[in-house]
Structure 1
Amino acid sequence: MSAHEEEIEITNALRRGLGLNRRQFLAATTGVTAVAMAGAGPLASTAQAASGRHPRGTLVPPSKRGIILYTVRDAISRDPLSTDLPSGFQRVFEALSRIGYRQVEFAGYGQHANSKGGANLESVEGARMLRRWLDHYGLEAEGNHGFIPGSWPLTTADLDRFKLHLEIAHTLGLGHVGTGNDPTNSAYKDDWNIAAEKWNHLGSIASRAGIKLYTHNHDAAYNFLLDSGPLDALGKPTRSSGIRKLEYFLKITDRRDVYLEMDIFWAHVARFKFSTFTAPDGSTRTDVFDPLAVVRANARRFPLFHAKDGKSNPATANGYDMVPFGTGDIDYAKFFRGAGPKGSFNPMYEQDNAPGGTANPGQSLQYADLSYDNMAALRG
């Protein structure tokens, strides 16, 4: 048993002996009281129902419960000299480990300059420091939303920086490197062909390094591809054959070298927003997007997910309001049951609006705590 595992066993034994649930224990034994006890509002009942009771047979095994660090970016970037709340990578790793997370996904390697290690850890030496902290707190890094060259053909500088990120990934033990952006923001087939050429090339480099290259989606990537005439004044197609952009990307990229991370929230936004298209003959056709069907048809190509929840709100442009995991209307139990064998994929809790600012500086870690409980409580 490792030192960290022993610490966890002692911690759990103490908690049981004191008769405390995990939330109460965190408040009693760590410096994150404001985070752990801030559940007095409308979200409290959900968290309290799940806290401390994570039965076997849950859909997401403990070792697969992850978080992308973008969710707690405010904690990572705040000045440790100005607050008692967790600040910087090391202290945030500690807080996430105590909550129960076992996986993290990076969103870059920057933190506040006053944090241990300094502001910029985007180097092999910085990665060694991060790896020591990850190992100490029993965390495994799965991926990073980092540098993907924008140029094509590649410049020497871009290729060198991409290879540096692969070296950093090896140091951290990452199985995946990727980006938080779509492969291209274009609606046109020719631009997606170019994007696929670049991603196939980069993916082959990553594969030779033993790493999977992945792209992340927003809602626009699941809109319909413009690939049919008549052409506009610039010679661009104005109609669609009905295939969606990212599905076309899947078709024309090498399944051995290019992978995807579905942001499940944005995929559901696409389902709400993009249900009709103008066919080559000028007729309007309906096709309702099914995110889970795309995953089932390409299961081996979705090793990562962003588990981001939304509460239905048809009055808004996106159709959903972003909320902590497990408090929205996206049926994650159904999605995870259908996405593949239990433990075959890595869901990363994400919430873009988790930081609470000066009004509630502990909010993002509070939401991370609540979302962990709700992910752990999902049953088959």
Structure 2
Amino acid sequence: MDKISDGTPLDAATRRRLTRRGILMASAGAAAALGAAGMNVLQTDAPAVAGRELHPEPLIPGRNRGIILYSVRDRIAAAPDSSGVPYGFERVLARLAELGYKEIEFAGYNQSTEILGRQITPAEIRKILDDNGLVANGTHAQINAATFEQQMDIAQTLGMRNIGTGSDPANSSYTADWDAAADLWNDLGRRARARGLRLYTHNHDTAYSFLLDSGPLDAAGKPTRSSGTRRLEYFFRKTDPRYVFFELDIYWAYVARFKHQKYVDRGGVERTDLFDPILNVTSRSKRFPLFHAKDGDRDSAQANGYVMTPLGEGDINFQQFFATIGDPEYRHANWEQDTAPGGAANPAQSLDFAALSYRNMADLTIYQR
């Protein structure tokens, strides 16, 4: 039985509450887009086939279920206290392993110096991983030419297969900046591959906004209109698929679908183009080994169109998403919720949300003959 961070079992009503919406409901918008593309649309009920017994299989295999530590950053950074809630790498990673997580994505390597009287080392973190049967599947580090070798050293000490960043490769609307970013990432990705690593970047919604790459120039000589190409789509084309990979943040991808729908073409005409997160992955499947399984409650009154929630509490259809993109053995899903920490008022909240989200990740299944 699952437990929250103070050891209290999760009751059946709580589990039902967390899986009641979104998890098993097909998205009409996604279904229409998939059908138009000639792809099969998932049936989310348990189908009946005469004379054949169907059985559920997990959409995310247990060994591929992970968490980025940014979700529980408050407890990683916490000093010893009297709350009874785990703190620091040793206690927090042990708790995450108890919950069922098998993979860890890092968001920094520091904890409170009050725990050891000094800062913990990557080698000591590796031992904690090994002791708890955990595997490091990636990191959100600063990716630049000056520190890349050092970052790869840390990644290899921790046993990572992937090394990445939580920032977009370029914070720009112009192709010249994305060209420069692609040159850098192709070089760094080549160096990473030489050391047995894959270099990846994680998206926010702005990465799927439209480039300014056509039409009249402004006073600085830069384009003011768009061809309809999205920033990261351009980066896909400019980077070598052998060296540069991606971690789709599913929440931010759906925010992009909500926010970035219109552009003005070279002739000054406003155009509409809806971004589809599922087709974005299926069109270049092997470039996405990692995902952030981050959920959101739909709220069109919000600037982003969603409010972050624990996995399974929101309206994003992870059942449809993971069933359609396929390759469950290749995909690694890391739960993330930026807003999970509860602060001094509720120090256990992020670990409680981690427990709830793990259960809902494990509940994602598809029926097979």
TM-score by length of 2: 0.86
Quote the Cα distance in structure 1 between the aligned partners of 2:218 and 2:19: 57
Alignment of 1:133-282 (within 5 A): 133-149=128-144, 154=145, 158=146, 161-282=147-268
Compute the displacement of 1:38 (Å). Answer: 8.1
Deviations 1:341-364 (A, max 9, x none): 222110100000000011111000
Aligned to 2:44: none
Quote the Cα distance in structure 2 between the aligned partners of 1:276 and 1:48: 34
Residues 1:46 and 2:17 aligned together? yes
Quote the Cα distance in structure 1 between the aligned partners of 2:101 and 2:127: 17
Q: What secondary structure sits across from 1:235 in the alignment?
A: coil
Q: Please say if residues 212 and 257 of structure 1, whose CA atoms lie closer than 8 Å, have aligned partners that are also in contact.
A: yes
Aligned to 2:114: 114
Deviations 1:79-138 (A, max 9, x none): 11454210000100100000000001000101111224733x4xxxx2211111101111
CA RMSD, Structure 1 to Structure 2 (Å): 1.9
Aligned to 2:74: 74
Quote the Cα distance in structure 1 between the aligned partners of 2:215 and 2:19: 56
Q: Please say if residues 46 and 374 of structure 1, whose CA atoms lie closer than 8 Å, have aligned partners that are also in contact.
A: no
The amino acid of 1:181's aligned partner reads S
Quote the Cα distance in structure 1 between the aligned partners of 2:118 and 2:325: 40
Compute the displacement of 1:56 (Å). Answer: 5.7
Q: Tell which deviates more after alignment, 199-208 or 78-87.
A: 78-87
The amino acid of 2:122's aligned partner reads A
Deviations 1:220-270 (A, max 9, x none): 000001110200111110111111000100000011001111100001000
Compute the displacement of 1:301 (Å). Answer: 0.6
Aligned to 2:294: 308
The count of corresponding residues between Structure 1 and Structure 2 is: 332
Quote the Cα distance in structure 2 between the aligned partners of 1:39 and 1:319: 31
Residues 1:359 and 2:359 aligned together? no
Residues 1:132 and 2:127 aligned together? yes
Quote the Cα distance in structure 1 between the aligned partners of 2:65 and 2:215: 46
Compute the displacement of 1:294 (Å). Answer: 1.1
Q: What secondary structure sits across from 1:229 in the alignment?
A: strand
Q: Please say if residues 67 and 336 of structure 2, whose CA atoms lie closer than 8 Å, have aligned partners that are also in contact.
A: yes
Aligned to 1:96: 96
Q: Please say if residues 188 and 226 of structure 1, whose CA atoms lie closer than 8 Å, have aligned partners that are also in contact.
A: yes
Compute the displacement of 1:167 (Å). Answer: 1.3
Compute the displacement of 1:147 (Å). Answer: 2.3
Q: What secondary structure sits across from 1:255 in the alignment?
A: coil
Quote the Cα distance in structure 2 between the aligned partners of 1:344 and 1:206: 19
Compute the displacement of 1:58 (Å). Answer: 1.4
Instruction: Note the residue ranges of structure 2 that are not aligned, 5 or more in a row.
Output: 21-54
Q: Please say if residues 70 and 352 of structure 1, whose CA atoms lie closer than 8 Å, have aligned partners that are also in contact.
A: yes
Quote the Cα distance in structure 1 between the aligned partners of 2:8 and 2:285: 36
The amino acid of 2:362's aligned partner reads A
Q: Please say if residues 88 and 116 of structure 1, whose CA atoms lie closer than 8 Å, have aligned partners that are also in contact.
A: no
Aligned to 2:59: 59
Q: Please say if residues 200 and 247 of structure 2, whose CA atoms lie closer than 8 Å, have aligned partners that are also in contact.
A: yes
Aligned to 2:332: 346
Q: Tell which deviates more after alignment, 351-360 or 76-85.
A: 76-85
Report which structure shows greater RCO (CA 8 Å, sep ≥6): 2
Compute the displacement of 1:39 (Å). Answer: 7.4
Quote the Cα distance in structure 1 between the aligned partners of 2:2 and 2:9: 11
Q: Please say if residues 152 and 163 of structure 2, whose CA atoms lie closer than 8 Å, have aligned partners that are also in contact.
A: yes
Instruction: Note the residue ranges of structure 1 that are not aligned, 5 or more in a row.
Output: 1-20, 50-54
Quote the Cα distance in structure 1 between the aligned partners of 2:142 and 2:243: 17
Q: What secondary structure sits across from 1:215 in the alignment?
A: strand
Q: Please say if residues 81 and 114 of structure 1, whose CA atoms lie closer than 8 Å, have aligned partners that are also in contact.
A: no
Q: Please say if residues 333 and 379 of structure 1, whose CA atoms lie closer than 8 Å, have aligned partners that are also in contact.
A: yes
Aligned to 1:22: 2
Quote the Cα distance in structure 1 between the aligned partners of 2:358 and 2:143: 30
Quote the Cα distance in structure 1 between the aligned partners of 2:334 and 2:116: 25
Compute the displacement of 1:59 (Å). Answer: 0.8
The amino acid of 2:206's aligned partner reads A
